[in-house]
Structure 1
């Protein structure tokens, strides 16, 4: 593709990579948009840590049933067969390895797959742990959806995280607007690029990259 992906296109790409029949948690923020692009016949079942399986997509306020919300307090739909349960049971699902995939945002991801997404360490920043640590250690696959660079141009895919960690060696895939990566294990492998060349990525990132 000749240009970076828009948020909608990135969400569509991730939705297409989720295996059919998976149990999936979508993190607060940008990952919630993935729900709009899941195929109805995919069999993917969405989980939210506030106690629901079979969650649908986020809906506007004029269609909202405020008894149905995701973990970010956004109104959502319920799909046929949806189930509700206690908050503790929901976290038991997360911690017990029952989720196939979770997709979260991040401030930083290291080449080894370490995740930092709850606090920048800044004195005036408000920490936001939520269920991220439970998902990081409990989900079978942890994917990150983020911009590759900060607003001031610093890379967010780094040799080592400098922000407080959410989890160690937990991330397996990183999806960004200009490239997607496999991380951890043997290092960082570029899967594909959008509007940037492999050589440009190499020049802007401080981590060794393997070609697609």
Structure 2
């Protein structure tokens, strides 16, 4: 009896944790990329987010094959010059009842020198170096979607994309900005953790102004 009531609580906890967390990439110049798991609007705990251990091997998209090194709170990897992209559907195991498992896949990008959207769900600049971005899903712009902007001083604001899927980031000063967006799909999906009926997509893009 206890297990029957405990299982839904575990599912709710897993959903809350997955939704609260994001994967993002930071890079300074052409140095190594740092891949984080956490809550970007919050100050990172010393040693990294408590869930950081779940971030094991995000897949770099066109970024070479150098080994990832686990540091205090992030994964470090040497990558070629230019924008960096990675995706990972194995951060959190699928949760929920067997007949309607849910899962999440993260898409992360650092940089705005390339206007292309390469991943299935991505926030890309309209043009190189632009403060105007477009939210793209499967090659098409996503209109009327929520995109959260987090400034270097942790100020955050939720913006809506226009009919063409674009939004303009309010630049408030020098430093690193983070954009994030999410999308929910229902159907039948294969993930590295197994089949799921609900799949959440979360995309982040960082850039330095």
Instruction: Please give the TM-score of this superposition, normalised by the length of structure 1.
Output: 0.30
Question: Please, what TM-score do these two structures have when normalized by structure 2?
Answer: 0.31
- Greater fraction strand: 2
Give the structure with the larger helix fraction.
Answer: 1
